Amino acid sequence: MKWIAAFAALAFATPAVAQADDPLDWSAPDQELRVAVDGGEVWVRVNGDLEADAAPAIFIHGGPGGTHTVFGGLISMADERAVILYDQLGSGMSDRGGDPATWGVERFVDELEAIRQALGVERWHVVGHSWGAALALEYAAAYPQHTASAVLGGTYISTPHWILGTNLLIRDLPDDVRDTLIACEAGRAQPGMNCDAATAAFYRAYNGRADSPPLSPAARRYFGQYNGRGFNGQIYNTMWGPSEFSARGTLVGYDGTPLLSQVDGSRILFMIGQYDEARIDTVQDFLTLTPGAEFAVVPGGSHSFPMERPVETEAILRAWLARKD
């Protein structure tokens, strides 16, 4: 789930033609506010009209410990509905406060509801990515009256399923990379094995592919102005652990799949990249557990598809949100 550092490194380094932006993408917010939550204040930005007929959409970033910047190329959707971005407590532009003992799913869901109340929004779409997908599902189950739809992007909703999926993906890598990663994860790395290089190879395959377009000049400026203190590795390590391939933190036993039978499936969209860490067959199993739900695959995208393929991502989201208003 720790995608942002891997993708950003590739995006800044790749010598290719930068992707073009809509004039609204990577733009300054129409409104900024800080919302008090348990442990501090979270930074929230809004583009577009919160009073428009179309329900607003709040975008929930991954990590844990990531930032809202993954969604900067989707701000142009504000021409149809209000687009709400925020940094979860402890990362990006939000306060670094909070007791690590409270870093759990419930606290981050409460954070979402505090934002809704502060903005005076009655009903909105919750669009989650990676770890944010778990929060979107949890929110939809806890607050169905306020949920127009939930998008479970880069679908992490269960640690056991995620660990099984990433370990299956390791076996699809070249033999030397596979053997190195397996040895490194087991604490049996031999002299000459480069664990960091093998992990980077995994990322290039599934989480920020080498053929991804680099960040545009507008995106680079945005990162400089709105990335705040960036990714918070302490949150990631506390809640998840040191690597994508094994969970040792507070999320080690997390499994939100029972919620799939409790939500309105007709208002659930699973969405992943073609080469996503969230494996297609795993998400198809989730789909089976969610009657009426839909499934979208972003062509050419990895787990970082919102930044790699913003045009395709936006097209899918626009159509889905319009149908579920």
pLDDT at residue 99, as a whole number? 81
Choosing from 212, 216, 303, 304, which is the catalytic residue? 303
**Span 4-162+209-324 CATH architecture:** 3-Layer(aba) Sandwich (3.40)
Task: Determine whether 280 is exposed, middle or buried from the number of CB atoms within 10 Å of its CB (0-12, 13-18, 19+).
Answer: middle
Asked about 94 being catalytic, the answer comes back as no
Residue-level pLDDT at 189: 87
Identify the pLDDT of residue 4.
52
167-to-13, 244, 268 alpha-carbon distances in Å: 28, 9, 27
175 has catalytic annotation:
no
Residue 232 has a pLDDT of: 95
C-alpha angle 62-107-273 in degrees, rounded to nearest 5:
20
Collect the ranges in the chain with pLDDT lower than 50. 7-16
How far is Cα 18 from Cα 6, in angstroms, rounded to an integer?
18
**Portion of the chain with pLDDT greater than 70, in percent:** 94
Give the CB-side neighbour count of residue 75, counting CA atoms within 13 A. 24
Q: Which of 22, 276, 302, 304 is catalytic?
A: 276
pLDDT of residue 186: 86
Beta strand 57-60 with 147-153 is unpaired
- 100 closest CA partner among 190, 233, 290, 243: 233
pTM over 0.85: yes
Predicted confidence (pLDDT) per residue in 42-65, tens digit: 999 999 999 999 999 999 999 999
Which one from 76, 91, 94, 130 is the annotated catalytic residue? 130
The H or E element spanning position 33 is: strand 31-37
Specify the length of the chain in residues: 325
Active site residue 68: no
Distance of CA 257 to the CA centre of its chain: 18
Question: Given this model, what pLDDT does residue 18 score?
Answer: 54
What pLDDT score was predicted for residue 97?
75
